[in-house]
């Protein structure tokens, strides 16, 4: 079957020289053909994501058109404005994919609001809500390496598409021929007919206003003299992050020159993920050179931000997603109580794999903590529930350990722009009282205990990778470990059993040990990886790290 499909693509008029050349280059190479055509990229709640190239198992304009026809057919059943918002980041082919998506929607009689320049995930979520759209499309592969691109689909609430809606779209996609099934109109014709319009300045201004309204101590940053190094990692963050920071009074910003402007090849950091040291290396070098108080780096679609803080001894230390989540939660709670802006019955949210230290902070301030499945759409779902009850202002903060944060309900996905603003404001505040982020973090550990949260990833590439991962998760369920490194398992929570968890089904296992430490195992939803999350506690960092190392050594053989 895959050889027939390959021949069909070879015979087709593909409009894309790169695809044609690639197809010709693999002629006679059955393995390469099978890899591209044996399966199709699956559309799920995270949309599509894959390597760029020719074939049904690659990201290209044909796969984008096919997916967008699925979105179009779903939108046509929804009533409402019959409008879809589109944005894209700096990845290769991003503008091409965005234009093709717009052309399919326009050919289906659906109106489009598309950004006239690359803009991040939160801006897409905001535009979807601002224009009361039926759906939103963000062309991005988030933090994946340069050879990837992807396509996130959003519902009318600005949250990533629900399972039910994604299932409907996927059903249409399966019935739509990838080469001939999608309706298409040229971008120029769509503009001429008034079906495709650019996002207006009013929407962009409202986005910035909504972010700046989340300041905890307005005006404080203007007088703090904060010195910042920032890297957009060649992605979408440059314009929105620097504009918001300048608006709140932070003007001493040095941009990492090699990573300042959009560059889909990510030549200075092959894996533009702010969770890893290599992505922050250039920024750290520059921070040391100029003596910055803080270094920030946002990923290509600017929904996540990584941080390095200056310590009292002049060195720089990376801050984990869990640590920054707790720091921001504590800062927002304490600041809003002090300012008299804390709502009644405040609510914070975090994912089940994020640190339990956040629960203790919430308990201290009298804030309700709601735990959700991994994936920020579940935090968005909690905001939607509050909104449905007329209580959306109760939501003050949500975070995931993977460097995703949101303060306020104006969007329904992670927002590195508001997070960057609040991190800088927080740094300015602690500086104004003779302290620092580092010193306050240590105070939190003294108050609540020395928690350590670490993640290990095990990669399973290739067509067989997903099968291997499924087999390993099956084995863990059928033969559950009774101990890790001599620490007995006191409880196993299986999130495939909603009757036990009270949450929707998810392929996650949590092992709670007798000493209160936890090991969480889950396959990634977007990459061929199984992730293991460890939460340990010790009298100091060394002891907590030793605990983690022992648990990791015990778990590793299962995934090798």
* β strands within 70-214, DSSP E: 83-88, 111-114, 135-139, 148-154, 196-198
Cα angle at 426 between 437 and 367, to 5 degrees?
100
Biggest CA-to-CA distance, the chain: 71
Residue pair 534/448 in contact (Cβ under 8 Å)? The answer is no
> What is the torsion angle, in degrees rounded to the nearest 10, for the CA atoms of residue 440, residue 441, residue 447 and residue 450?
-160
Exposed (0-12), middle (13-18) or buried (19+): which is 209, by Cβ within 10 Å?
Answer: exposed
Name, in order, each residue with C-beta under 8 angstroms of 194's C-beta and a sequence gap of 6 or more: none
142 is catalytic: yes
Q: Which of 87, 142, 231, 436 is catalytic?
A: 142
Quote the DSSP letter at residue 348. Answer: E
Residue 328 burial (CB count, 10 A):
23
Contact 548, 515 (CB under 8 A): no
User: Which backbone phi and psi does 526 adopt, to 5 degrees?
Assistant: -125, -10
Beta strand extents in 238-299 (DSSP E only):
253-255, 294-298
Identify which of 252, 254, 255, 256 has the alpha carbon closest to the alpha carbon of residue 226: 252
Q: Is the dihedral of CA 322, 127, 173, 145 positive or negative?
A: negative
Q: Which residues does the annotation mark as catalytic? A: 142
């Amino acid at each position: 079957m895959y050889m027939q499909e390959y021949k069909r693509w070879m015979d087709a008029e593909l409009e894309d020289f790169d695809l044609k050349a690639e197809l010709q280059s693999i002629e006679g190479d059955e393995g390469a053909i099978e890899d591209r055509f044996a399966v199709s990229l699956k559309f799920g709640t995270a949309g599509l994501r894959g390597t760029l190239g020719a074939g049904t198992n690659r990201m290209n304009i044909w796969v984008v058109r096919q997916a967008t026809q699925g979105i179009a057919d779903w939108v046509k059943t929804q009533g409402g404005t019959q409008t879809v918002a589109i944005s894209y980041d700096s990845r290769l082919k991003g503008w091409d994919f965005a234009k093709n998506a717009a052309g399919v929607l326009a050919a289906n009689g659906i109106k489009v609001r598309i950004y006239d320049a690359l803009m991040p995930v939160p801006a897409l979520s905001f535009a979807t809500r601002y224009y009361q759209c039926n759906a939103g499309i963000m062309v991005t592969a988030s933090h994946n390496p340069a050879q990837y691109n992807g396509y996130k689909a959003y519902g009318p609430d600005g949250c990533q598409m629900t399972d039910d809606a994604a299932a409907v779209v996927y059903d249409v996609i399966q019935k739509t021929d990838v080469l001939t099934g999608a309706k298409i109109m040229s971008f120029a014709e769509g503009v001429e007919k008034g079906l495709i319009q650019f996002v207006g300045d009013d929407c962009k201004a409202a986005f910035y206003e909504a972010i700046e309204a989340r300041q905890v101590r307005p005006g404080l940053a203007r007088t703090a003299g904060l010195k910042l190094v920032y890297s957009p990692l060649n992605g979408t963050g440059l314009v929105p992050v620097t504009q918001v920071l300048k608006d709140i009074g932070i003007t001493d910003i040095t941009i990492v020159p090699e990573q300042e402007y959009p560059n889909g090849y990510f030549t200075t950091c092959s894996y533009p993920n702010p969770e890893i040291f290599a992505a922050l290396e250039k920024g750290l070098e520059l921070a040391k050179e100029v003596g910055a108080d803080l270094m920030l780096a946002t990923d290509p679609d600017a929904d996540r931000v990584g941080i390095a803080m200056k310590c009292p001894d002049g060195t720089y230390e990376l801050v984990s997603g869990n640590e920054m989540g707790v720091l921001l939660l504590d800062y927002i709670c304490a600041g809003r109580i002090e300012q008299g802006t804390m709502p009644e019955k405040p609510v914070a949210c975090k994912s089940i794999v994020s640190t339990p230290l956040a629960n203790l902070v919430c308990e201290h301030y009298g804030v309700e903590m709601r735990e959700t499945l991994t994936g920020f759409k579940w935090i968005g779902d909690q905001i939607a529930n509050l909104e449905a009850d007329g209580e959306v202002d109760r939501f003050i903060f949500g975070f995931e350990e993977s460097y995703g944060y949101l303060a306020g309900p104006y969007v329904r996905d992670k927002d590195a722009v508001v997070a960057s603003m609040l991190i800088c404001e927080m740094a300015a505040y602690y500086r104004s009282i003779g302290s620092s982020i580092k010193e306050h973090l240590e105070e939190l550990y003294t108050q609540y205990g020395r928690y350590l949260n670490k993640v290990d990833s095990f990669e399973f590439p290739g067509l067989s990778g997903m099968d291997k991962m499924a087999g390993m998760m099956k084995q863990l369920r059928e033969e559950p470990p009774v101990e890790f490194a001599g620490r007995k398992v006191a409880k196993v929570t299986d999130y495939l059993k909603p009757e036990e968890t009270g949450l929707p089904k998810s392929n996650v296992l949590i092992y709670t040990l007798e000493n209160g430490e936890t090991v969480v195992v889950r396959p990634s939803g977007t990459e061929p990886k199984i992730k293991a999350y460890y939460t340990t506690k010790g009298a100091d960092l060394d002891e907590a790290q030793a605990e983690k190392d022992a648990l990791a050594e015990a778990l590793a053989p299962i995934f090798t």
